[in-house]
Amino acid sequence: MNMEKLISIKNVSFSYGSRPVLENINLDIYRGDYMGIVGPNGSGKSTLLKLILGILKPAKGSIKVFGKSVDIFNRWERVGYVRQKASFFNLGFPATVEEVISANIHSGKGLFNTSVKRCRERVYEVLSHVNMEEYGGRLIGNLSGGQQQRVFIARALVNSPEVLFLDEPTVGIDLDSQREFYCLLEKLNVNMRITIVMVSHDIGVIAQKVNRIVCMGDGKLICHQNSSGEMIPEVLKKTYGDWISPIIHDH
């Protein structure tokens, strides 16, 4: 298989103030990957995503996105991001689901602006991917946490990104919705060829679904495996300790 590198992280370190969070991280993400990032709370998973997305700047090392240094990369519509916890916004904000999603539509410059009608079609297209097409006209603050999360996934998909980053996307979502959600991700990865990078504590799912796994602990990559089935439980054991094995075997 010829593997196209979408993201390349070399010797990256980062600290908040004087507090080191990531040390000497090396990681490549290839087109078509379904990557799971696991690790205890505070191990720097969200920070790593923010560095890739250019929200934070690395103190050392280099990050390349689609072959370009993250500082000068400007085709962010090729990258989708669903951040940790959907409740970052003010729940009283008077905005409909349709307005929230269409605000993210990347429109060309000047005269090549996407037409209103085309935007609307696109919004309902992505809403149908997450089974939310009936909710386009609803106020975002009136939806349940799980529904909001699906709206934010739809928002991340609206520009047909080539890679999708998800930070603990299933926290606070009931089990049925979670199952549907993982089906959706699989569909995106397999049918639509979207590269997926997901931070999750949902170890059972990670072990089953992803094809590459990255474990973080103490700001370091403890291990990094191309999963060929059996490898993954071993890897997880190394990250979280022995208590993990019964959970994995449940699935």
Partner 1 sequence: MELFQFGFMRRALAAGMIVGVLCPLIGIFLVLRRMSLIGDSLSHVALAGVAAGIVSGVYPPAAALVFSVAAALGIEQLGKKYPEHAELAIAVILSAGIGTAVVLVSYAKSINIDLFGYLFGNILTVGPGDMWLIAALGSFILVFVGIYFRELFFIAFDEEGARIAGIPVKKINLLFTILVAMTITLSMRIVGALLVSSLMVIPVAAGIQTAKSFKHAVLMSVVFAQISVVLGIVFSYHLELASGGTIVLLSVVLLMLVLGFKSLSNK
Which positions touch Mg ion (CB under 5 A)? Answer: 46, 84
Stretch touching partner 1 by CB under 8 A, among 36-44, 70-78, 205-213, 218-226: 70-78
Task: Give least dist CB 41 to ligand ADP, A.
Answer: 4
Could you tell which of ligand ADP, partner 1, Mg ion, none binds residue 43, using a CB distance below 5 to 8 A set by kind?
A: ligand ADP
Q: How many CB atoms lie within 10 A of CB 198?
A: 25
Quick check: 81 binds partner 1 (CB under 8 A)? yes
Any idea what DSSP says for residue 139? Answer: B
Q: Which of 54, 61, 172, 217 binds partner 1 (CB under 8 A)?
A: 54
Which of positions 15-54 make contact with ligand ADP (CB under 6 A)? Answer: 16, 21, 39, 41-47
The gap from C-alpha 2 to its chain's centroid, in whole angstroms, comes to: 24
Quick check: 99 binds partner 1 (CB under 8 A)? yes
Where do we find the tokens 């386009």? 136
Best CA proximity match to 80, nearest among 63, 105, 60, 58: 105
How far is the C-alpha of 131 from the C-alpha of 149, rounded, in Å? Answer: 12
Q: Residues of 107-131 as b/e, b for ≥16 C-beta within 10 angstroms?
A: eeeeeeeeeeeebbebbbebbebbe
Could you tell which of Mg ion, partner 1, ligand ADP, none binds residue 44, using a CB distance below 5 to 8 A set by kind?
A: ligand ADP
Beta carbons within 8 Å of 75's beta carbon, 6+ residues apart: 66
Q: Which of 77, 125, 133, 218 binds partner 1 (CB under 8 A)?
A: 77
How many chain residues are in contact with partner 1, going by CB under 8 A?
27
How far is the C-alpha of 86 from the C-alpha of 146, rounded, in Å? Answer: 9
Three-class DSSP category at 178 = helix
Task: Give least dist CB 247 to ligand ADP, A.
Answer: 19
Task: Give least dist CB 249 to Mg ion, A.
Answer: 27
Task: Give least dist CB 208 to ligand ADP, A.
Answer: 22
How far is the C-alpha of 181 from the C-alpha of 20, rounded, in Å? Answer: 34
Footprint of ligand ADP (CB under 6 A): 16, 21, 39, 41-47
Where does this chain bind partner 1 (CB under 8 A)? 53-55, 74, 76-77, 79, 81, 83, 88-90, 92-96, 98-100, 102-104, 106, 137, 139, 155
